[in-house]
Amino acid sequence: MPRAGGVLLVMMAVLLAGCSGQGGLLGGLGLAGGDAPTPCLDDSKDCIEQRMARLKAMLDDKSRSWVNEQPTPQSYASGVRLFAYRATKSQLDCRELHAGTTETQKAKATLASTHIPGLAKDQLAKVKALNDQVHEELAREYRRVCKSPKAARKGFESRNPRSKQARGSG
């Protein structure tokens, strides 16, 4: 996790810094997460820093408690959760992969039906496209790892060494 998280943070820093102007991929996309009182949806330096801090916190969360948060429409619009899912998809167990695919389905419906103040139409189109990409990536990973109960258990155990120790196998 630290290696993948570090690489992603560098990529995100470059992306956020390079795309923070009008029309950039993450331009105007604010802070994600259910614990954010008011996600910012502008291109200010403070908002970019908040997005980076939130992503770093999500990637550093070994328990991945963010997967169980109930995101707001603004959180969906921020795109940060999408980058967190994308960065951790190879480490997520079957339950978490299922939660991610379900969340991206909900996000698609929410983004299609909810007006999000401060989010321009071009920004909304970009986050919808990113959501569709991440949904497909998570669904593909779920099908690869969780195709049967036995494969799901094996996938979970291979991604969560503590589960093997708890069962006494290994």
Least confident stretch, 14-23, 105-114, 145-154: 14-23
Number of domains in the chain: 1
What is the amino acid identity at position 30? G
Number of Cβ atoms within 10 Å of the Cβ of 132: 14
Closest CA to 35 of 4, 2, 81: 81
pTM of the model: 0.71
Question: What is the C-alpha separation between 169 and 74, in angstroms, rounded?
Answer: 43
Q: For residue range 63-104, what is the model confidence (pLDDT) as tens digits?
A: 999 999 999 999 999 899 999 999 999 999 999 999 999 999
pLDDT of amino acid 152: 59
Question: What is the C-alpha separation between 32 and 88, in angstroms, rounded?
Answer: 16
pLDDT of amino acid 37: 45
pLDDT of amino acid 30: 35
Do the beta carbons of residue 68 and residue 45 sit within 8 Å?
no
Domain with 162 in it:
2-167
What is the amino acid identity at position 45? K
What is the amino acid identity at position 130? L
Q: For residue range 10-63, what is the model confidence (pLDDT) as tens digits?
A: 445 434 433 333 333 343 333 333 444 456 777 789 988 998 899 999 999 999
Q: How far is CA 20 from CA 27, 49, 107, 122, in A?
A: 5, 11, 22, 14
Number of Cβ atoms within 10 Å of the Cβ of 118: 13
Start-to-end Cα distance in the chain: 21
